[in-house]
Chain A
Amino acid sequence: LAPWIPVVGLEIHAQISSNSKLFSGSQVQFAAPPNSLVSFFDASLPGTLPVLNRRCVEAAVMTGLALNCSINKRSLFDRKHYFYADLPAGYQITQQRVPIAVNGSLSYSLCIDNKMSQMVTKTVRIKQIQLEQDSGKSLHDDTRSQTLVDLNRAGVGLMEVVMEPDMCCGEEAAAAVRELQLILQTLGSSQAIMAEGQLRVDANVSVHHPGEPYGVRTEVKNINSIRFLAKAIDYEIQRQIEELENGGTILNETRAFDSKLGCTIPMRDKEGKQDYRFMPEPNLPPLILYDSKSLPANMNHQQVINIDWIHERLPDLPSVKREKLVEQYEILPEHSFTLLNEDGLAEFFESVVKQTQMKPKKVIGWILNDLLSYLKQHSLTVKESPVSSFLLADLLNLLEKKEISSTAAKQVLAELWKGEGKTPLEIVKEQKLELLQDQKELEQICQAVIDGQENE
């Protein structure tokens, strides 16, 4: 049987972290009472006009720069038409012709063969980033045959990030999305919490034989976590391979991922392709951005966005942070990944290092093996840890000073998890875990043991 090459591309919608919506002044807030955050424009009242939110543009520029994109100094807005209850105006304002950023790349790392010790770096090309409006939410109440519409989310700013089909499986896609998530959170341009709908991923999947053209692709939607993303993609790849090997064909369709069944199913309401009748948005002039070279001298800097100014103020991206951790603390690259992957873990680690004489190379083991596994076991975040960095550092100091053995240290740690407020020293004393340092005393004990053995 000829081998199959799976091809995976992603369309990611990230909600912009801003106080107000993309084109109107109403607030952005998760889980507010229905229809309490809706301005006249969001409700599409006739005669209202869009006004662009500066913060949203800045967020998109930051994200574009962080993803190595070219920022288009001139980008345009368009209307994408379709009728749906959660789209009050009957069209979405998006950037179809000329988006704000294009041609970037994202590097991410994977473990080969599930061994943490072998990491490989991959790159996925970023086709573009565009600004667009989010839609409202519609809930179908089948018992009363009605549809309930909540427009709180209508008009919230989104960045759509399009990743080229450079990935080959669920694992790669998951790693790429995870890295994107970290970048967005570091920039602050999006909080990117998938569970709150701030990061939504659609996957485009196809398979083909080497040397042949790309196969028909399907779009997989309704994926609510990174874990499910990998599952959904791998399932779909398998489904397509099986279908084709059985002589079937793949339809160019949209499928929803059913997390309970672990499979993808066709979505019902796509009859024929939609023609979105794109048209330029006449109420928004072209978006003009400047850099230090093109900025006119007498321009009020409140009125314009300077790309270079934003570039200078970008925080350290995750990849840079990891490099610095590795360099500064002489830890392994895979350690740095785990540190950044867990919210607050890197800060915890650095805090412990500051408070102890133990070498960071040794501290890291305690952090990644003991602390992290305990947190995972009990589904706690770093912030919720009953053992503070102070306590852990205290404990590690005892170990470093050879006042206890490492076995004893693990026992103390187990006691500390109970969170009863005792210090490591107190626990050591209680449980008599001190290491004996006195040579003479040790000789006496050993002699007693030997004597005891001789008597048997």
Chain B
Amino acid sequence: MAEHHPVSDSKHKSSLNSGASYSGNGRSSTAVAERGSNAGAGGGGLSGGLSQPAGWQSLLSFTILFLAWLAGFSSRLFAVIRFESIIHEFDPWFNYRSTHHLTTNGFYEFLNWFDERAWYPLGRIVGGTVYPGLMVTAGLIHYVLNLLHITVHIRDVCVFLAPVFSGLTSISTFLLTKELWNQGAGLLAACFIAIVPGYISRSVAGSFDNEGIAIFALQFTYYLWVKSVKTGSVFWTIGCCLSYFYMVSAWGGYVFIINLIPLHVFVLLLMQRFSRRVYIAYSTFYIIGLVLSMQIPFVGFQPIRTSEHMAAAGVFVLLQVYAFLQYLKDRLTRQEFQTLFFLGVSVAAGVVFLSVIYLTYTGCYAKIHIPIIASVSEHQPTTWVSFFFDLHILVCTFPAGLWFCIKNINDERVFVALYAISAVYFAGVMVRLMLTLTPVVCMLSAVAFSSVFEHYLGDDMKRQSPPAEDSSDEDDRKNAGNLYDKAGKVRKHVSEQEKAEEGLGPNIKSIVTMLMLMLLMMFAVHCTWVTSNAYSSPSVVLASYNHDGSRNILDDFREAYYWLRQNTDEHARVMSWWDYGYQIAGMANRTTLVDNNTWNNSHIALVGKAMSSNETAAYEIMRSLDVDYVLIIFGGVIGYSGDDINKFLWMVRIAEGEHPRDIRESDYFTPQGEFRVDKAGSPTLLNCLMYKMSYYRFGEMQLDFRTPPGFDRTRNAEIGNKDIKLKHLEEAFTSEHWLVRIYKVKKLENRDRVEHKLRSTDATKQKYTTKKVSWDFKHWTV
């Protein structure tokens, strides 16, 4: 405007007639510009949430959350697009089977389900040994859809449950981060958690596992907890308890919540941040949460019996004492005595709390040294590489976010700091617990990125910051008695940023912004790549690629399982290593001896013993266990490394743990201490049942012209025992690529001989039968 006026006037001066129209134009254009700037100001006012709370901002965040959900859902569909809508891996097959049972037989039948097809001859009480949340969720969705006559098969519900829940997870992460920091960070966190590989690894389409819904429950419980600590309202606490109940019903990881929340309360007490809000929130949460969690049959009385839950009880008592002391403090006047008393109590309680925690986790460690737990790959300690692989740039930025939180500490930021620290510790102990670390890393990284962008992102910063300040002010005003002052912090931010702007100039600003955006872009690319390459294989179906890019599908697992399903007796008992128990039950629908619910170590050890004994000894064990078929996985033909020979040492170790007199691990090694399948291998190994079954008739097979017959591609060795004869077993089925081999256990061959002898003399028959009976008896007592 300052420029327009002189220009128009000079026009007017030079030529009055024509200048009129020009100046008119000039005026109108300024008017338009002015109006535009006013409209912009109006927009700013809207987004400030003053004039219209449900305005552009909520539309924008709704859109971003919706897109995050969509992106999270679609990036989990690689496996479905590449293969088919199928349940993955091992545990999901059990979950699918029990969900199927639930939908066909109803809820009560499911709760009372005694599965006689597992752990033969013991059976398994499924209803009481399972976290039913997953099945009930899937069953409920299926029920509702069918009620609306949307005839979706339960399999598809199960396959797509985890991707759908990932959307809910990102929304609850948004809510939680919004409570902790601000809306912008919340949206970033929602986008991060939607695509971060650490979470995708457990929630791709088809991986129908507890973790898929448990992370949602975890985040939502934390959100409600933070909300109840902030407001001190019983309403939010009850919501938190219900969410906690859902979490308890879904995953054993609920123990993390029931320890983290008391820890939070305890640390708040130590930091002198005790308030009425914390008292209301925790007291309500502990009592109602406890009662609700005990409703799950599998959990039962554990919350009042086991050491994992004692910390919560201790903090509850401590809180009551503390509140009582506070009350007394108001009544009494002897201040010094009070403070001394308080110190004494808190120190004592702290010691108790820490010792309980110590006991709990040392207890966990003791369990880890059982070989069966150690044998699971996901129970191994996490490597640095897998941190980066699963979290990429977030693993670098999340300490910054943590620092921001600690720098501007308040009640809920104490919580997130504790969450971060404990999750980092557990993720370091076990690969599997990477999952609990992922959400907090996403949240804190979002905080870090959001703060950096607040500093460096453009001129509109000036216009954006005052409204943000206003809204946070309002938040603060709502919860009376806050000890911290967020508004002050933001003001400091503004001044800092202005200083930085003056010092750095626009170039630095844009460079930093570009750099951050590049990092985020690389993060998105990495996430997609990891999801596509590492986490999207169903592992039930394998694929190999030819030189021209065409794909071969190796469907051996389902071939063999389906053969079992169709062509064996309905009550046939199949012995296999426990890894395949759930799959056999789910796909082949046959009775198994051991499965992935490794609750009975000695039973597994017995199977391990059968696999690692010689054929005759194994036959006795198999007879005593009524085994009809033995199923093994053999990867020697196609070079599949996850086969039973590679797992064999674990079988030996587990068997040795229970039967140290019969099985010794050292017998299976060469004198040099090597585990070899070729001629140099130990004779015990070359004659054990597993070896014989794996390589039966493999010695005749020449895979290509450069290698001798009987060349094992997985272990790159020519096998040592090529002339394998089976006496008590016979080959029943071998899949196309020899990946799965099924052997039939022959019945005792004695009938014919008995008949034959019967004709010769009567006396012999008499003798023989008695002998036979005693022999049989002996077997049963083994």
Q: Do A and B bind each other?
A: no
Residues of A within 8 A of B (CB): none
